[in-house]
Structure 1
């Protein structure tokens, strides 16, 4: 049996195959997962009910499973509420560089050929999507 943080077989399988520089999109429940995905992306729907699991829940589990070298987020629109989900996600990735991009650029990056996995959460908060670039592991002593 799997004893790591993530026990979902599809997620474990695709994280293991992603490799350095590959990307993982952890999306909110609003993501158009049937039309806005890259050609190599595998989609896993985790939404159980509105709000569960959250984007930060999944980002934390991914962080505990693979090295993350970058977080890309979508810049909220000027009329958006303060983005607590983005703050919570950033706090989980201390020391990881964060890039904030405009909506259309985020869509281009999130549908690129280097996106290996899309995990659709139940998070219904706006602008919660997190695009993670997988890093390299370090030697353990």
Structure 2
């Protein structure tokens, strides 16, 4: 029995095989996971129902399992139907989870098409599709180096 918060066998297997600079996308429920992923990425569906599971719940499990050195979000749009004034509330949840994991790691917002370009690379090893319905909840993590 595993002792970390992450006990999903397929996710654990992908992370065990991944290395430094590999990326993990924790996608919200609206992300086009079938066509916006890297050629080596495994897609794991964790979208049980709208709102379950959330990206932050998946983030907490991932942070318990592997070292993370980078975190990118999809930048909000200034106008249009998805526009937000300021950071989405979910980003504060990510900051709290990252801090609780003992990391000093800023969120790096990327313009939508740059975000997609950063996902669809050979370094992308895993997409966890969640049921999160919050706007701009996608989170792209970069695996770091184990130092202990």
Task: Show structure 1 runs of 5+ residues with no match.
Answer: none
What count of residue pairs does the alignment treat as equivalent? 139
Q: Which residue of 1 aligns with 2:129?
A: 120
Runs of 4 or more above 4 Å deviation = none
Q: CA deviation at 1:2?
A: 2.9
Q: CA deviation at 1:134?
A: 0.4
TM-score by length of 2: 0.89
SS of aligned partner of 2:24: strand
Q: Which residue of 2 aligns with 1:107?
A: 116
Deviation per CA, 1:20-53: give whole Å up to 9, x if none: 1100000001111111111000000001111011
Task: Show structure 2 runs of 5+ residues with no match.
Answer: none
CA-based RMSD: 1.2
Deviation per CA, 1:73-115: give whole Å up to 9, x if none: 1111122265111221122113013211100000000111111
TM-score by length of 1: 0.93
Q: Which residue of 2 aligns with 1:21?
A: 21
Q: CA deviation at 1:3?
A: 3.3
